[in-house]
């Protein structure tokens, strides 16, 4: 069993990881390495897989069910790394037992389940946190600081691309697989959070997999910002890039460029001069657009493992009895946008089907 050093000020919290598949090993490793935590158990229906993970993370106990975990082990919290459709049942049982919960993305398989999890945690006085890992990266933390300091001016638009030749997931489409990363980042960095006025989405299934493998999601936020997200499982080129355009500066985050992940451009359309020129129609005829040319710079970023910071923040939230930076309500906002995207695609498909039916009837007359 991995044992974190205890002090009189902060005794180590006891945690179990539920799910030893794709993401569970990353959580288990970070909990085992953290001085805030003692990794007590690994829970997975596949005991061989759980035991293999336990051998790599200090030999915590291994159990095959949540009932066994709660009955046999004294724990403060659970980390859930199972398919999204199981998150609600596991989290609700853990919360009912008085345990704090961190869940890998997405929070749940629908917003009704997500809301029930949020309400249950609030009623029980426990912490419910979403493992939105990108929000704990040095680049995204820096972006949040820059926007809080109004470094870019008024945010005008956001354009995000997350594409690669990826694994077609068995239980979710490309929107639910990849877009939660970008949506959670926007909720984290924007001062007003993720508050969408409209959501429009288009998806394509060229593989005939029965789900969207390529997707485009556009939102108009309550603040007036236009945000666009492109997700794709079929691209031979891997791109992880976000552009945030402001009235004074523009930020480009290229997550795959470790030498220069963030770049700030002090150039673009000079909006202040544009306002001055509007009063003079003759000037506008001669120079409709005024451009600003300035410096380009890249802020220095610290290097650390985001999951390590995430598990530390989980502990700090529990000890301080305060909401986590990526708490249940923030994860619920992400869920609601994903559901709006589903409804947008369904409505577009229904409209197209109706148009085709009407055209066929007209042709038959």
Please tell me the pTM assigned to this model.
0.88
Q: What is the pLDDT of residue 4?
A: 41
Query: In terms of domains, do 145 and 291 share one?
Result: yes
Query: In terms of domains, do 141 and 235 share one?
Result: yes
Q: What is the pLDDT of residues 161-205, one digit of tens each?
A: 999 998 888 889 999 999 999 999 999 999 989 999 999 999 999
Q: What is the pLDDT of residues 278-314, one digit of tens each?
A: 555 555 554 566 667 788 999 999 989 999 999 999 9
- 315 lies in some domain: yes
Query: In terms of domains, do 175 and 197 share one?
Result: yes
Quote the CA–CA distance of 141 and 213 in Å, as a whole number.
Answer: 30
Closest CA to 267 of 254, 290, 250: 250
Query: In terms of domains, do 188 and 314 share one?
Result: no
Q: Which domain holds residue 26?
A: 13-132+310-327
Query: In terms of domains, do 227 and 301 share one?
Result: yes
- CB under 8 Å to 339, separation ≥6 — which residues? 110, 111
Quote the CA–CA distance of 331 and 337 in Å, as a whole number.
Answer: 10
Query: In terms of domains, do 248 and 318 share one?
Result: no
CB 117 within 8 A of CB 128: yes
């Amino acid at each position: 069993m991995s044992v974190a050093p205890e002090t009189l000020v902060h005794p180590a919290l006891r945690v179990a990881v539920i799910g030893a598949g794709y993401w569970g090993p990353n959580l288990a490793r970070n909990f085992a390495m953290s001085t805030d935590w003692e990794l007590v158990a690994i829970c997975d229906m596949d005991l061989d897989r759980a035991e293999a993970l336990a051998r790599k993370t200090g030999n915590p106990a291994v159990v095959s069910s949540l009932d066994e975990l709660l009955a046999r082990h004294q724990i403060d919290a659970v980390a859930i790394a199972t398919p999204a459709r199981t998150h609600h049942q596991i989290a609700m049982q853990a919360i009912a037992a008085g345990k704090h919960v961190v869940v890998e993305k997405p929070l749940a398989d629908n917003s009704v389940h997500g809301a029930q999890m949020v309400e249950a945690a609030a009623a029980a006085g426990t912490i419910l946190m979403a493992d939105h890992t990108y929000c704990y990266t040095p680049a995204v933390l820096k972006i949040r600081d820059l926007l809080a300091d109004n470094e870019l001016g008024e945010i005008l638009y956001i354009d995000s691309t997350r594409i690669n030749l990826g694994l077609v997931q068995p239980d979710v489409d490309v929107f639910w697989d990849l877009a939660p990363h970008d949506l959670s980042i926007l909720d984290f960095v924007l001062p007003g959070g993720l508050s969408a006025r409209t959501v429009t989405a288009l998806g394509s299934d060229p593989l005939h997999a029965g789900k969207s493998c390529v997707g485009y999601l556009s939102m108009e936020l309550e603040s007036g910002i236009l945000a666009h997200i492109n997700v794709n499982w079929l691209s031979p080129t891997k791109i992880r890039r976000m552009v945030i355009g402001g009235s004074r500066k523009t930020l480009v985050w290229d997550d795959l460029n470790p030498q220069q992940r963030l770049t700030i451009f002090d150039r673009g359309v000079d909006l202040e001069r544009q306002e001055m020129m509007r009063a003079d129609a003759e000037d506008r005829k001669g120079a409709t657009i005024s451009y600003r040319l300035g410096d380009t710079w890249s802020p220095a970023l610290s290097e650390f493992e985001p999951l390590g910071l995430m598990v530390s923040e989980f502990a700090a939230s529990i000890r301080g009895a305060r909401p986590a930076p990526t708490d249940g309500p923030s994860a619920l906002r992400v869920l609601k946008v994903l559901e709006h995207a589903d409804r947008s695609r369904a409505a577009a498909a229904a409209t197209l089907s109706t148009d085709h039916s009407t055209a066929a009837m007209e042709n038959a007359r």
